[in-house]
Amino acid sequence: MEPPVLAFTLWIFAFLSVPAAGYPNGKVREACSSMMPRHEHSPQPSPEHTISVNETEFRPGDHIKVSLSGPVFEGFFIQARNAENLAGPAVGSFMLAEERISQLLTCGLVKNSAVSHTSKSKKTHVEAYWIAPTDAPEHVQFLATVVEKYKIFWVKIPGPVISQPNAPPLTTPTSITPETLPTSQPVFHLTKSFNASGCGITKFCIRNPPKCDPGTAYCFFLSFKQNNHSVLIEMSGPSEGYIAFALSHDQWMGDDDAYLCINEDHRINVNTAYLSGRIPPVLDSENGLEDISWRLADGLVQCSFRRNLRLPSYKGRFNLDANYYIFLADGEASEGLIHKHHRQPLITNGMYNVTDSPKDVGGSRSPLLLKLHASLMFVAWMTTVSIGVIVARFFKPVWPHSLFGKEIWFQVHRMLMLTTVLLTSVAFILPFIYRGGWSKWAGFHPYLGCTVMALAIFQPLMAGFRPPPHAPRRQVFNWVHWSTGTTARILAVVTMFLGMDLPALNLPDPWDTYTMIGFVAWHVGIDILLEIHSYCLIRKVEVIDEDRIQILQSLTSAEAEGHTFKEIVLTIYICGNIAFLITFLAAIHQL
């Protein structure tokens, strides 16, 4: 947790006197906007505390002393706002006067734009300095929330207005009516979590992770239940800001019908929007939704509503009885605006007709480009490189004949290795295209990946300039060629282990790790088998040709047998290798 967030969590903690574990950063911005302690009590009507300042005029960069005083209080929260837009964001920043009892908080985008208490100690007077920003509005008003006790508090106590020199007189009235909490809960208030008992039987469900229970803290859940001409929609998921789903004709954002449940000051507003492109949605003022209910509990946002199959009188609402890709997104919300989802939205793997036979489906948060990246890398570093190395290591004596001017083993080796380099190069570019640059959140994976890429390019370049077979430097080449290749393969396996667990690929954990360990074991096992076999073969040949030990290149009956054995092992190896490969490709593409 960043310090300001932590401090703010503590602030809320003091207001509430309940464990703060359930207030991570998302709610911070909302309380920043409402200045309302999360509370089941209503604020007091007439303020008893006063805010004063030591100047009435300010210029950008000025320091203004702000004081809050009155009857003994425990908590406070001070902000400056544009006097002509008191519902807007905090303006300017503060500097502390008394670090023991006060601290700086960050509201919205402005650092240190609010001051609050550090503990519940009793106080009657606090001070801080407000620093006017360069882009300050003409009139600034100070607002304070004061908590006397748990149940007794005042919200947005209006303070003095200060103005820039020569500013026209303030036009809007400065008095504001403090917002009041809803005294009664909305009529349609959900009392418990949704359940998945009818999924695939009476309702169409989308769950992520697959088959999760919508009551748990990590489950994203969306269901459609048709009832004559209307559809009941339930959506829930862990979020501090908003959760949303959209119906789309394609797998890209844009031209979509979206439904959003937005947490605004601890109330959920259910909205619709037509998404015209990759820009923040403009919420519709009217939507055809009925029976709206919601619940905010245990870190989950839950909302349900009903809409007709067809809503021809509302622009932007799609008919529900058609095929769509369905997106499920979540993100932060503040001041009624939603922020871009900071992780990939879930997208169903196919188009579905939610009013057709009920299904229970999952989806994927993994973008196509990254799936392709992973697939190509798996083909390259699991299959082509492994077979290519085995061929070079064990099949020189088996396939010595010439094909297009070179030995067969060499042709096969070169083809597989060049394929590996080609696949790696293509796959390497894809994440950069997807991210539009370097990926900061992928740990060591990209660094190792770049090393592997460099080695993979170096290897064929070096091989192109290799010395002739009997030149003295040939041994050096052989050794460097072998060690570069081996290093690249080991690093590639490590890179794959790291990459598999990245969220953008979303492979089932720990299945992926075990399967990969299985593959490594399979490969090493076959390698060892062939090594042992070669060793035994040499011994056998040595025994048969006691006189001529240098016989290794000539065909004896023992060697012929050995060749058949090697070919069988290679065939079995390739089958196993491809089985592993297909398993991974199927998992990546969630087939």
Ligand X SMILES: *[C@@H]1O[C@H](CO)[C@@H](O)[C@H](O)[C@H]1NC(C)=O
C-alpha closest to that of 42 among 183, 187, 185, 186: 183
Nearest distance from residue 323's CB to ligand X, in Å?
A: 5
- Token pair 């796959």 is found at 427
Hey, CA dihedral for 196, 202, 206, 211, is it positive or negative?
positive
Nearest distance from residue 230's CB to ligand X, in Å?
A: 9
Q: Let me know: does 224 contact 320? Beta carbons within 8 Å.
A: yes
Q: Let me know: does 309 contact 356? Beta carbons within 8 Å.
A: no
Q: Which of residues 450-469 bind ligand X (CB under 6 A)?
A: none
Piece of the chain touching ligand X by CB under 6 A; list 206-214, 351-359, 401-409, 448-456? 351-359
Nearest distance from residue 38's CB to ligand X, in Å?
A: 28
Specify the residue, 306 or 481, whose C-beta has the smaller distance to ligand X.
306
Query: Which residue in 129, 318, 477, 565 binds ligand X (CB under 6 A)?
Result: 129
Specify the residue, 211 or 473, whose C-beta has the smaller distance to ligand X.
211
User: How far apart are the C-alpha atoms of 492 and 483, rounded to whole Å?
Assistant: 14
**355 touches ligand X (CB under 6 A):** yes
User: How far apart are the C-alpha atoms of 203 and 418, rounded to whole Å?
Assistant: 51
Piece of the chain touching ligand X by CB under 6 A; list 7-15, 244-252, 278-286, 350-358? 350-358
Specify the residue, 56 or 564, whose C-beta has the smaller distance to ligand X.
56
Q: Which of residues 297-336 bind ligand X (CB under 6 A)?
A: 321-323
Query: Which residue in 353, 411, 425, 484 binds ligand X (CB under 6 A)?
Result: 353
Q: CA neighbours within 13 Å on the CB side: how many for 87?
A: 7
**339 touches ligand X (CB under 6 A):** no
**67 touches ligand X (CB under 6 A):** no
Specify the residue, 154 or 204, whose C-beta has the smaller distance to ligand X.
204
Please confirm whether the linkage preceding 214 is cis (ω < 30° from 0).
Answer: no
Angle at 10 between CA 301 and CA 68, to 5 degrees: 115
Nearest distance from residue 225's CB to ligand X, in Å?
A: 9
Piece of the chain touching ligand X by CB under 6 A; list 109-117, 247-255, 349-357, 371-379? 349-357
Give the x/- contact pattern for ligand X in 157-196, rule: CB under 6 A. --------------------------------------x-
Q: How many CB atoms lie within 10 A of CB 234?
A: 21
**98 touches ligand X (CB under 6 A):** no
Nearest distance from residue 261's CB to ligand X, in Å?
A: 17
**197 touches ligand X (CB under 6 A):** yes
Which tokens is 97 given? 């006067």
Give the x/- contact pattern for ligand X in 565-584, rule: CB under 6 A. --------------------
C-alpha closest to that of 223 among 203, 239, 209: 203
Piece of the chain touching ligand X by CB under 6 A; list 353-361, 365-373, 444-452, 506-514? 353-361
Residue type for position 220: F
User: How far apart are the C-alpha atoms of 302 and 299, rounded to whole Å?
Assistant: 10
User: How far apart are the C-alpha atoms of 35 and 475, rounded to whole Å?
Assistant: 76
The H or E element containing residue 558 is: helix 557-588
Q: Let me know: does 29 contact 334? Beta carbons within 8 Å.
A: yes
Query: Which residue in 228, 285, 553, 557 binds ligand X (CB under 6 A)?
Result: 228
**65 touches ligand X (CB under 6 A):** yes
**54 touches ligand X (CB under 6 A):** yes
Piece of the chain touching ligand X by CB under 6 A; list 6-14, 258-266, 287-295, 352-360? 352-360
Q: Let me know: does 130 contact 64? Beta carbons within 8 Å.
A: yes
Please confirm whether the linkage preceding 4 is cis (ω < 30° from 0).
Answer: no
User: How far apart are the C-alpha atoms of 297 and 155, rounded to whole Å?
Assistant: 24
Which tokens is 496 given? 């794959």
Specify the residue, 294 or 410, whose C-beta has the smaller distance to ligand X.
294
Specify the residue, 100 or 192, whose C-beta has the smaller distance to ligand X.
192
Q: Let me know: does 340 contact 280? Beta carbons within 8 Å.
A: yes
Name the residues that contact ligand X, by CB under 6 A: 54-55, 63, 65, 129, 195, 197, 227-228, 321-323, 353, 355-356
